[in-house]
Amino acid sequence: MGRKLLGFLLTGVLVTFAFSAVGDEEKEAVRASLQKWAPGVQPQSIKAAPIPGIYEVVVEGQVFYISQDGRYAMQGQLLDLANRTNLTEERLKVMRAAAIDGLDEQNMIVFGPEQAKHTVNIFTDIDCGYCRQLHRHIDEYNELGIKIRYLAFPRAGIGSSSYDKAVEVWCAKDRHQAMTQAKAGKPVENTAKCNNPVAEQFNLGQSLGVNATPTLILEDGSTLPGLVRPQNLVNILERKIAAHP
């Protein structure tokens, strides 16, 4: 429903400085306006943007902006030029980090020690070429202190061949070995159907805006699309630590 709603929205940029709380009456007015355009949509949150009459609304993990009277709506990046901050991306980072933090690591396929220096979550597809290249360097990531936590994202969707392979990996006796075999293009042996988180993780990725693999989600909720080599990744992570000690 959220993606259909976003199809009505214009793309643009607003210049702003800070958000403020919204009273119950204002929220209800915005909610009522939203229902005119997309009946049944339930916003996750409604906040006032600093531009009079404009509100930030989150629906299914997507951020957009709407006027209180429901006449104007837009999807785009809200920028604070004074502080050189992309407020929309900052909001999305918080939501991504919260979503990932809410997951149980036991439902991921993890390569690396528990007490690693960095943790990187990767939405991955067994058949993705760049995902396979990334996995070939898994030992290098681990040696540099990076723990890799894989989340399934079969790009072709639930029920596809890639989806079935992700399920086979999850249901294997040794998931680490199975992941390495599958990403090398080898069949996973001795697997049976089992309860698995593949569909749930695929749906989560979609709700977080993942549309390609690999997509890396860092601990602060920021994303890195595509293949990032081990040393480049650790450099990025170290810069983030230095910028926010």
Catalytic residue among 96, 149, 155, 171: 155
Q: Does the pLDDT of residue 4 top 80, yes or no?
A: no
Q: What pLDDT score was predicted for residue 154?
A: 98
Picking from 110, 170, 166, 108, the residue whose alpha carbon sits closest to that of residue 141 is: 110
Catalytic residue among 91, 127, 128, 132: 128
> Which residues in the chain are classed under CATH 3.40.30.10?
103-243
The two three-digit tokens of residue 116, written as one number:
């690693």
Q: Coil, helix or strand for 128?
A: coil
The two three-digit tokens of residue 227, written as one number:
């293949």
Q: How far apart are CA 229 and CA 191, in angstroms?
A: 31
pTM: 0.81
Q: What pLDDT score was predicted for residue 43?
A: 85
Q: Assign a CATH topology to domain 2-87.
A: Nuclear Transport Factor 2; Chain: A, (3.10.450)
Q: Please check whether residue 1 is in contact with residue 41, taking contact to mean a CB–CB distance below 8 angstroms.
A: yes
Q: Assign a CATH topology to domain 103-243.
A: Glutaredoxin (3.40.30)
239 catalytic? Reply is no
Q: How far is CA 13 from CA 10, 78, 84, 103, 111, in A?
A: 10, 6, 14, 33, 40
Q: What pLDDT score was predicted for residue 87?
A: 85
Catalytic residue among 96, 125, 127, 149: 125
Catalytic residue among 91, 96, 127, 131: 131
Q: How far apart are CA 37 and CA 221, in angstroms?
A: 30
Q: Measure the N-to-C terminal CA separation of the chain; round to a whole number of Å.
A: 40
Q: What pLDDT score was predicted for residue 22?
A: 57
127 catalytic? Reply is no
Q: What pLDDT score was predicted for residue 32?
A: 84
Q: Does the pLDDT of residue 25 top 60, yes or no?
A: yes
Q: What pLDDT score was predicted for residue 23?
A: 65
Q: How far apart are CA 200 and CA 145, in angstroms?
A: 28
> Which residues in the chain are classed under CATH 3.10.450.70?
2-87
Task: Write the pLDDT tens digit of every residue in 190-206.
Answer: 667 899 999 999 999 99
- Which contacts (CB < 8 Å, 24+ apart) does range 93-99 have? 93/220, 93/221, 93/222, 94/221, 95/58, 95/61, 95/208, 95/221, 96/208, 96/217, 96/221, 96/222, 96/223, 97/219, 97/220, 97/221, 98/221, 99/61, 99/204, 99/207, 99/208
Picking from 171, 173, 177, 169, the residue whose alpha carbon sits closest to that of residue 193 is: 171
194 catalytic? Reply is no
